[in-house]
Amino acid sequence: MSTLIDGFTSHHRTLDAAFLAAHNAVDTANWDRALGAFQTFWEAIERHMATEERHLFPVYERHHGADNPLTGILRKGHRDLRGFFEEISETIGAHDADEASALMGTVAQILNHHDEKEEQEFYPAVAPLIPNPEEITALLD
Ligand SMILES: [Fe+2]
């Protein structure tokens, strides 16, 4: 595995753990903890997606065209996820455990699928095009 693939893949697992902590807090109606845990997750995944959008997608698109299907689907995935994060944040703010938990279950599945596509298709394809993987993975922390 390359530094780039390793760094982004292990950050996915960090994000999974942060999301699970927020989901568990919602399921036990621990609202202060849910709010804090979800905020922590949200900031971390926003940093992750922004790093991909600024430093990985454009490099891939220079080689494969801006209209390639892979970054097209991943960019749409980020848009959808951001919409869900807004909704989850609102339902946590409203202390609506059923709705928040249902949304989080849906997002866990979408995230899983999205991460799999990045890890199996996108990172291996973009890694050889990135000359400074240490600098870019450092942006995730
Ligand atoms: Fe990712």
At 31-53, the pLDDT tens digits run: 999 999 999 999 999 999 999 99
Q: What is the mean pLDDT of residues 43-66?
A: 98
Q: 80-85 — which CB contacts under 8 Å span 24+ positions?
A: 80/110, 81/45, 81/49, 81/107, 81/110, 81/111, 81/114, 82/46, 82/49, 84/110, 85/42, 85/45
Give the list of residues 6+ apart from residue 75 with CB closer than 8 angstroms, or none: 53, 57
CA atoms of 91 and 47, how far apart (whole Å):
22
Mean pLDDT, all residues of the chain: 97
What confidence score (pLDDT) does residue 109 get?
A: 98
Q: What is the pTM of this model?
A: 0.95
CA of 118 to the centre of ligand 1 (A): 6
Domain extent, residue 82, equals 3-138
pLDDT tops 60 at residue 19: yes
CA of 99 to the centre of ligand 1 (A): 26
CA of 68 to the centre of ligand 1 (A): 18
Q: What is the mean pLDDT of residues 21-26?
A: 98
pLDDT tops 90 at residue 1: no
CA of 133 to the centre of ligand 1 (A): 14
CA of 48 to the centre of ligand 1 (A): 6
Q: What CATH number is attached to the domain comprising 123?
A: 1.20.120.520
CA of 117 to the centre of ligand 1 (A): 9
Number of domains in the chain: 1
Q: What is the mean pLDDT of residues 108-134?
A: 97
What SS3 state is found at 30? coil
Q: 104-118: per-residue pLDDT in tens?
A: 999 999 999 999 999
Q: What is the mean pLDDT of residues 70-95?
A: 98
CA of 7 to the centre of ligand 1 (A): 10
pLDDT tops 90 at residue 88: yes
Q: What is the mean pLDDT of residues 119-140?
A: 97
